[in-house]
Structure 1
Amino acid sequence: MSDIQHSTGDLIYQLEDKPPFYQALVGAVTHLLAIFVPMVAPALIVGTALGLSTEITSYLVSMAMIASGVGTWLQVNRYGPVGSGLLSIQSVNFSFVTVMIALGSAMKSDGLHEELIVSTLLGVSFVGAFLVVGASFILPYLRRVITPTVSGVVVLMIGLSLIKVGIIDFGGGFAAKSAGTYGNYQNIGVGLLVLLVVIGFNCCKSALLRMGGIAIGLIVGYIVALCLGMVDFSPLQNLPVITVPIPFKYGFTFDMHAFLVAGTIYLLSVLEAVGDITATAMVSNRPIEGEEYNARLSGGVLADGLVSVIAAALGSLPLTTFAQNNGVIQMTGVASRHVGKLIAIILVILGLFPVIGRFFTTIPAPVLGGAMTLMFSMIAIAGIRIIISNGLRRRETIIVATSLGLGLGVSYDPDVFRVLPDSLYVLVENPICAGGLTAIILNLLLPMGKKETQGAGAIRTAADEEAE
């Protein structure tokens, strides 16, 4: 099958272009602003939920940044079979947050010390990451399973799921909900201001202004929020000056039950990684079928697994390719993987100096929501483009519609399948997993037409199918 490649003409810097340093720095900072809070939030959430000490929680946050930097470096440089060679940014996988909290809470109720809880969670994460490494080697043999339609559905579900996160932040976040200030004029006003600034700069003809649109929007929003008294600097207190990575700092403990639960999430994260890498390839004007695509896919998933091995050893929650950056690529027009090298270096430095990294957590939720709501919607659009690239015949329409219905349905009410055993429920409570698994199953079960077996084409109408 011939490679399918898309050229939107919207990119300022292509994959192999090397922007001038100051433009590369603007692009790097823009990506960092988009991912920094989601990067450190999982460790903060897990640490708070499990009642971990400030020292342990701070260490988890610092290691998340360092591991993300190492992982990003591997992805963008593509050493041999390792890495996608795309502007793929690695960050902490949110899918593991609820699992880690559930497992850790059970251990805590059994009377385990916090360091033993952390060593067990990280030990399970370390071993489970090898499942992703193994999965990367069989991806080329799954072309019948992971088609552009399936990948597109996953990317679409990722975007739609993230929109919920963005719009909640837009209204003030969960803290505002608890305080009764969610959706007030102040939060909505700041969110709208950031959104309008980002849109305005994205419409500029100047490449530099367009690249810095998201960063400028966040900076403007932060300044306004600071004037309104919305910025909380308490997270910057009582932090160590420097954090030195220590492999297996809290020891290494393994629990088979916890491994079975975490292992399932790891395998599902492979599907999410496939969707993320496919979206990155598309917005970078690279093929989403053929040998080049398969090599990037296998390399990207392999890097995902190896990076999670490194992350768990250092003391970070598992990592994955971040979907948020696909929206940044589309908004800024910068797909150069060389920008990723700068991002990786900055992340490692920020991880060594936690006070710098923690500063980004002071960005108010409405400021983030104003930019992220638009970026996450762009990810959903990328998913739609991937689906269309494979043709939207009757068969693909049924697959997409059913997957979208069940995936979004689960996001509206995750308890709809609660009657299922826990081993199955964990597979379908996540909208991305529910939609992705539905797409895979239908793709395998629904018969292909004669034309479909010969390759994907343009969008076909029902009249075309009847004529065949």
Structure 2
Amino acid sequence: MDTVDKIIRGEEIEQSSSQASFYPPADQPRLTWKETFTTRRGWYGEYDYAALCMPRIPFIGSSKSVSSPFFGPNDEIPIMVALLMGIQHFLAVIGGVITPTVIISGSGAGYLNLDESTRQYLTSASLILSGIMSLIQIIRVRIPKTRYYIGSGLLQITGVAFSNIPAASAMITTMYDNGTCQKELQPDGTYIYSPCPDAYGAVLGTSIVCALLSILISFLPPKVMKRIFPKSVTGVVLTVIGASLIVSGMKNWAGGSSPCIDRPDSGIFALCPTIYAPNAQKWGSPAYIGLGASVFITIIIVEIVGSIFLKNTSVVIGLLVGCAIAGGVGMFDGSGIADAPAITFLWVKTFKLSVYGPGIIPFLFVYVDYIVECLGDLTAACDVSKLPVEGDEFNTRCQGGLLADGLSGIFSGLGTSMGVVTFTQNNGVIAVTRCASRKAGVICAVLLILCGVFGKIAAAFLAIPSSVMGGMTVFLFSSVATSGIRILGLLSWSRRDRIVVAGSLALALGVALVPDFFSYLLPTVENVALQGFYDAISTVLSTGYIMAGIGSILLNLVLPEDAADPEDIKLKEKTPASSIQHGMVV
């Protein structure tokens, strides 16, 4: 991701001399459709394929800067390069696309505890909808007789957002606690949670309603959007979201989030995920810790010695290593793959849609996060695609991308998937491969759809042990927190900035670290309507990133502006404008 940062700051990018590639010279005419499919230039061009796959030996090799050609969004590109880059983007996002669905549909407190066939379907649905929504972002269409667009017209791949997890988990927890979903206390003190598909329907319905916020914001003037979402707000919210997600990842790393986390001495949860799992262990056992560590360490090693291609697929390589080790020690359960349907599609399973009142405020903040991420992603995507990051063209891309994200929230909910939004990983892939071609994005989107249609692929992801997924998700979730920290680093850090950040983080991290802090604040009453109101307040108070958003927004509005500090002015003058356009850029 350092390369993306350099591009955004306007710095020169150093590349290995072996990374040079060429296609085609500026004075060459464009190929016809027939020539594209019948000539060597159309299929292969003169691209340096060896450079894409050449590993890096630490402390050895040249870092000489080379002028490498660049494939813009609409440039002519060889078929083989487009295929390779499409696969590259697919491998870069596939782990992130399926992770939120795998987690929220799993077992334990705060999750849906769904049966395996339903989880397989939901994973397939998330892949299919991610591919479809990616095509909308990439293709970009103009709304007739208006100046507005749907889609950004850039190589932007979408996927199920990690931000869904805290809000959905808070909703589901409340529904189990108030009896909407059923749980049964066991003699050993643990609970058995019954599957609750209706809770998923409530998550989808609530998300659909809140998606209207993104649609409305997309029609606001750019200056107004920047005023609503300053860096102090977006940085704090993303940091707290990342921190709360890491908690979930660490639980899975140690064995899972089912009741086995309490390490009972007897019962089906004496081992993780249950005593019936192959080669099951106690939660936190060395076997699980080591298995997750194999994934985490592999990702780091690939980043150190991997080629351009391998670095962009480090998460997938880490998963493969973890799965290989799990299979070798007998922890990989492949029975679900054999039982999974060969072909599936959307609406094979459906859920009763509803709007859950206590979940509206949490999901409104989720969509605020979507907006922040989308604006940052589009800014970075324009930079790495060598397109303007200001002016009318840039503003229309932001408007179209935001509108597509809002529509994705509605269509993904109707298609039985949690909110689908733009992903950040692709900007890093574009930066290091110098390929921003939309054709590569279309290939990636088609691959996502195909993986969703073939049901056994989704079943294979669900067969991955929790500790393997945990080792991967801790790395991915840490990237979310890192993005928030990076945004905060762009502040001038005046006294006012410090108060906004410190005041909002105090409550947000406090709630995250002591989740029961507000549990006994409100009474329990028999009046259903009043109890629902109390549940909504409890959900807000117990969700760290919501407290971060409310706290930072209020403090940003009420605190007076500081007198201009000469040192702050000098710092601002040294900061390139492109690096402070919006919040999240990596």
What's the TM-score once normalised by structure 2's chain length? 0.64
The aligned amino acid for 2:240 is M
Aligned-partner SS, 2:150: coil
Aligned-partner SS, 1:182: coil
1:147 aligns with 2:230: yes
- The CA distance in 1 between the partners of 2:549 and 2:570, in whole Å, is 22
Any idea what the Cα deviations from partners look like across 1:42-73, whole Å, max 9, x if unmatched?
Answer: 34559x96676766555444323322222233
State whether residues 312 and 318 of structure 1, in contact with CA within 8 Å, keep that contact through their aligned partners in structure 2. yes
1:448 aligns with 2:451: no
State whether residues 37 and 361 of structure 1, in contact with CA within 8 Å, keep that contact through their aligned partners in structure 2. no
Aligned-partner SS, 1:321: strand
82, 88, 109: which one pairs with 2:150?
Answer: 82
The aligned amino acid for 1:233 is G
Identify if the C-alpha distance between structure 1 residues 390 and 457 changes in structure 2 by more than 3 Å, giving closer, same or farther. farther
- Aligned pairs for 1:17-56 (under 5 A) are 20-44=82-106
Match of 2:418 in 1: 318
Deviation at 1:385, TM superposition (A): 1.9
Name which structure has the greater RCO, CA cutoff 8 Å, separation 6+: 1
Any idea what the Cα deviations from partners look like across 1:396-428, whole Å, max 9, x if unmatched?
Answer: 122122222222111112232332533333223
Match of 1:466 in 2: none
Deviation at 1:205, TM superposition (A): 6.6
Deviation at 1:23, TM superposition (A): 4.2
1:308 aligns with 2:409: yes
Deviation at 1:126, TM superposition (A): 4.2
- The CA distance in 2 between the partners of 1:428 and 1:88, in whole Å, is 33
1:99 aligns with 2:196: no
- The CA distance in 1 between the partners of 2:488 and 2:71, in whole Å, is 23
Any idea what the Cα deviations from partners look like across 1:203-247, whole Å, max 9, x if unmatched?
Answer: 237312322322222212211111011212233243333224349
State whether residues 243 and 478 of structure 2, in contact with CA within 8 Å, keep that contact through their aligned partners in structure 1. yes
Aligned-partner SS, 2:408: helix
- Aligned pairs for 1:309-348 (under 5 A) are 309-314=410-415, 316-321=416-421, 325-326=424-425, 329=428, 333=432, 336=436, 338=438, 340-348=441-449
Any idea what the Cα deviations from partners look like across 1:175-213, whole Å, max 9, x if unmatched?
Answer: 563426223222222222222222122123731232232
User: What value does the CA root-mean-square deviation take over the aligned residues?
Assistant: 4.1
- Aligned pairs for 1:279-294 (under 5 A) are 279-281=376-378, 285=383
State whether residues 243 and 351 of structure 1, in contact with CA within 8 Å, keep that contact through their aligned partners in structure 2. yes
387-396 or 237-246, which deviates more: 237-246
1:261 aligns with 2:358: yes
Identify if the C-alpha distance between structure 1 residues 383 and 139 changes in structure 2 by more than 3 Å, giving closer, same or farther. farther
394-403 or 206-215, which deviates more: 206-215
Structure 2 residue runs of 5 or longer lacking an equivalent are: 1-6, 20-69, 143-148, 183-195, 262-268, 272-280, 523-533, 574-586
Aligned-partner SS, 2:571: coil
Greater helix share, structure number:
1
156-165 or 436-445, which deviates more: 156-165
Match of 2:246 in 1: 163
Aligned-partner SS, 1:152: helix
Any idea what the Cα deviations from partners look like across 1:417-447, whole Å, max 9, x if unmatched?
Answer: 3325333332232222221221111111111
Deviation at 1:27, TM superposition (A): 3.4
Match of 1:133 in 2: 215
Identify if the C-alpha distance between structure 1 residues 282 and 305 changes in structure 2 by more than 3 Å, giving closer, same or farther. closer
Identify if the C-alpha distance between structure 1 residues 400 and 27 changes in structure 2 by more than 3 Å, giving closer, same or farther. same
Any idea what the Cα deviations from partners look like across 1:98-157, whole Å, max 9, x if unmatched?
Answer: 425755885567xxxx99887776555544533442343347424323112212222222
Larger Rg: 2
Aligned-partner SS, 1:356: helix
**Overall identity of the aligned pairs, in %:** 27
Match of 2:456 in 1: 355
277, 283, 302: which one pairs with 1:201?
Answer: 302
The aligned amino acid for 1:91 is V
State whether residues 166 and 369 of structure 1, in contact with CA within 8 Å, keep that contact through their aligned partners in structure 2. yes
Number of equivalent positions:
447
The aligned amino acid for 2:373 is D
- Aligned pairs for 1:384-395 (under 5 A) are 384-395=485-496
1:64 aligns with 2:126: yes
1:428 aligns with 2:544: no
Structure 1 residue runs of 5 or longer lacking an equivalent are: 461-468
Match of 1:186 in 2: 287
Deviation at 1:273, TM superposition (A): 0.8
Identify if the C-alpha distance between structure 1 residues 276 and 443 changes in structure 2 by more than 3 Å, giving closer, same or farther. same
